[in-house]
Amino acid sequence: MTMPTPVAQEAKVKLAVQGLSIRYGHESALRDVSLQIHEHEIFGVIGPANSGKTSFLKTINRMDVFNPNMHVEGAILFDGRDVRQWRNVYALRSRIGVVFPLPVGLPLSVYDNVALSPRLHGGQSQADLDVIVERCLTRAALWDEVKDRLDALGSMLSGGQQQRLTIARALSQDPDLLMLDEFSIAVDPVTTMRIEDVLKELRKEITIILVTNLVQQARRLADRTAFFLQGECVEIGVTEDLFTGAVQDRRTRDYVEGKFG
């Protein structure tokens, strides 16, 4: 098995999380999490359900604004700037793309799914849009399958194709950071491996946060991994170390060995 290359310690910090706590009403979802994610690394986040993983992602690109019951404390620095200091939340989200577990193809053609964001930003000619659509679909390993049916509804593609279309749509904004929340749920094993190959290539260009309920997927892809449990970040380390016994907390070992979860 080819393992990811650990990110050098001197690598630029892309995202710094400082004392992050999240609660919904009076119920705590995440408590006092601090971590750093380096530029051009795949950072894995593993843990059982209800550990705070998805809530963690939502705070990074300010999706918490959609839920008035969600309260966030602490700081998240993206390229050194607190995400809460961005007056234009949409500008922030254009730099931080997210792909959720179940793919949602917009009720548009394959072409228009990818071209939507560039069109909304304006200033693109039809020729420019053609280039963007082909580039993003190619980066998402989907171009060869859909290049002859770009006018077809994106929602009519297979589940695996819709998942890759969602990735292509996120890439159309040229994000610096891409977050994926358990993308494997909706796709078959063969497509999962294809998307994993896409992510290995993308890490050369962007930073990736991979939330996954499949610990072996984290082992295959992530340079470093954080283990979340019941709202606590139990441990962070070089991914292979977590799987070869070099862990500080017994709960981490028990989880990666499948003793609970």
Residue range 138-181, pLDDT digits in tens: 999 899 999 999 999 998 998 888 888 999 999 999 999 999 99
> pLDDT above 90 covers what percent of the chain?
70
**CATH assignment of the domain containing 28:** 3.40.50.300
**Does 4 score more than 70 pLDDT?**
no
The answer to whether residue 56 is domain-embedded is yes
Report for 90-104, 212-226, 244-258: range of highest mean pLDDT: 212-226
The answer to whether residue 6 is domain-embedded is no
The answer to whether residue 2 is domain-embedded is no
Mean pLDDT of 80-103: 89
pLDDT at position 10, please?
65
- Band the pLDDT of 1: cuts 50, 70, 90: very low
The answer to whether residue 28 is domain-embedded is yes
The answer to whether residue 205 is domain-embedded is yes
Residue range 199-230, pLDDT digits in tens: 999 999 999 999 998 999 999 999 999 999 99
Q: Sign of torsion, CA 237 242 244 250?
A: positive
Domain that holds residue 241: 13-256
- Is 41:257 a contact under the CB 8 Å cutoff? no
Whole-model pTM above 0.95?
no
Number of domains composing the chain: 1
Phi-psi region of 193 (alpha: psi -120 to 50; beta: other; left: phi over 0): alpha
The answer to whether residue 1 is domain-embedded is no
The answer to whether residue 5 is domain-embedded is no
Query: CB-hemisphere CA count at 13 Å for 188?
Result: 6
- Is 42:9 a contact under the CB 8 Å cutoff? no
